[in-house]
Amino acid sequence: MFAVTLDGYGGPEVMKWGEVDDLPAPGPGEVAVDVVAAGVNRADIMQRYGFYPPPPGASEILGLEVSGIIAEVGAGVQDWKPGDAVCALLPGGGYAERVNVPATQVLPVPGGVSLTDAAALPEAAATVWSNIVMTAGLCEGQTLLIHGGGSGIGTHAIQVGRALGARVAVTAGSQFKLDRCREFGANTLINYREQDFATVVSEEYGGADVILDIMGAGYLQHNVDTLAEDGHLTIIGLQDGAVAELNLGVLLAKRGSVHATNLRRRPERGSGSKAEIVAELRRNLWPLIAEGAVAPVLSAKIPITDVAEAHPLLDSAETVGKVLLTVREP
């Protein structure tokens, strides 16, 4: 089969589409998916630079989400059959013609979404839902602050927040991205280059009940200052550093909480597992997608043979939402 391999670590040019060994048949509890499209995520860029190795036993091939058609099922799989159109959350291996994935991490393509576009859903959906709903408990009438509102995660989180009846504030670095965030339902638009988000959110809403943060250390104290009483800060990225000091007195006074989570290294099964998250998505989020309240937001679809053109798009000022790699016609 063909897949993207790395010729060392570094820039996009180290990624090469070429022939690799065929996959073994899916093992017990697994399915093999013939890939139609794969989502591009910042974790892929980190792995390309050598900063984010896959979990033990996972494929070294990049790619944390795909859509496609089930080709084979392993022993014990009862919920899926060859020919099913699906999307799936992966620990790795998505930049390829075929991937094996635990059946518990597979989802049907939601109503109203094309098979290709469904590749934009698993990683963003699992990240957003597990953090702002399952961990932080976002509910109707609360305020959600999203950093990086124009990203794949951000555009999905805006829609989920509004669908749940929350007020949504976002930060972004350009008016273009903020205008797009408004289209997806954001109530409050904050240009972080010109405005202080803590001041804006505190003055408008009295603080944020839930903050979804991709920045990490550089925003830590400012995020805590922004929390409302009993607020939850969930950290999913470290784009502005990993080490910071925190005034715990502020956190104590607000009875606030700080969670730092990682989706890729969660266990396959059990409490807090990928299987648990995927089951929650199918039960609670997939109906919202089917009714049109939440939809994948796509910025570009790039043939996987041109994979080196796709990664730089995540840092482009014109990119809003997800970038997909197309592998074959659906």
Q: Tell me what pLDDT residue 61 has.
A: 98
**Cβ–Cβ under 8 Å, residues 65 and 105:** no
**Region 44-73 average pLDDT:** 96
Backbone angles phi, psi at 82, to 5 degrees: -55, 140
pLDDT tens for residues 17-39?
999 999 999 999 999 999 999 99
**Cβ–Cβ under 8 Å, residues 259 and 235:** yes
Q: Which of 129, 76, 119, 124 lies closest to 95 in space, CA to CA?
A: 119
Residues facing 234 on adjacent strands: 212, 259
- Other Cβ atoms less than 10 A from the Cβ of 66: the count is 32
CATH number of 125-260: 3.40.50.720
pLDDT tens for residues 84-140?
999 999 999 999 999 999 999 999 999 999 999 999 999 999 999 999 999 999 999
Q: Whole-number mean pLDDT of the chain?
A: 97
- Per-residue confidence at 240, pLDDT binned at 50, 70, 90? very high
| Residue 271, CA atoms < 13 Å, CB-side half-sphere | 1
pLDDT tens for residues 249-263?
999 999 999 999 999
Residue 116, token pair as written in the block: 């290709």
Q: Do 125-260 and 2-121+296-326 fall under one CATH topology?
A: no
Query: Which H/E stretch holds residue 177?
Result: helix 175-183
Q: Which of 208, 204, 236, 237 lies closest to 222 in space, CA to CA?
A: 208
Q: Tell me what pLDDT residue 140 has.
A: 98
Q: Tell me what pLDDT residue 117 has.
A: 98
Q: Tell me what pLDDT residue 223 has.
A: 97
Q: What DSSP assignment string belongs to 265-309?
A: TS-SSSTT-HHHHHHHIIIIIHHHHHTTSS---EEEEEEGGGHHH
Residue 242, token pair as written in the block: 């990993």
**Region 219-238 average pLDDT:** 97
The domain limits of the chain are 2-121+296-326, 125-260
Task: Domain 2-121+296-326: give its CATH superfamily.
Answer: Medium-chain alcohol dehydrogenases, catalytic domain (3.90.180.10)
Structural Rg of the chain based on CA atoms: 19
User: In the chain, what percentage of residues exceed pLDDT 90?
Assistant: 98
Query: How far is residue 256 from each of residues 179, 210, 231, measured CA to CA in Å?
Result: 31, 10, 5
Integer Cα distance of 35 and 324 in angstroms: 12
**Region 193-205 average pLDDT:** 97
- Per-residue confidence at 177, pLDDT binned at 50, 70, 90? very high
Integer Cα distance of 262 and 249 in angstroms: 26
User: In the chain, what percentage of residues exceed pLDDT 70?
Assistant: 100
pLDDT tens for residues 264-299?
999 999 999 999 999 999 999 999 999 999 999 999
- Other Cβ atoms less than 10 A from the Cβ of 313: the count is 15
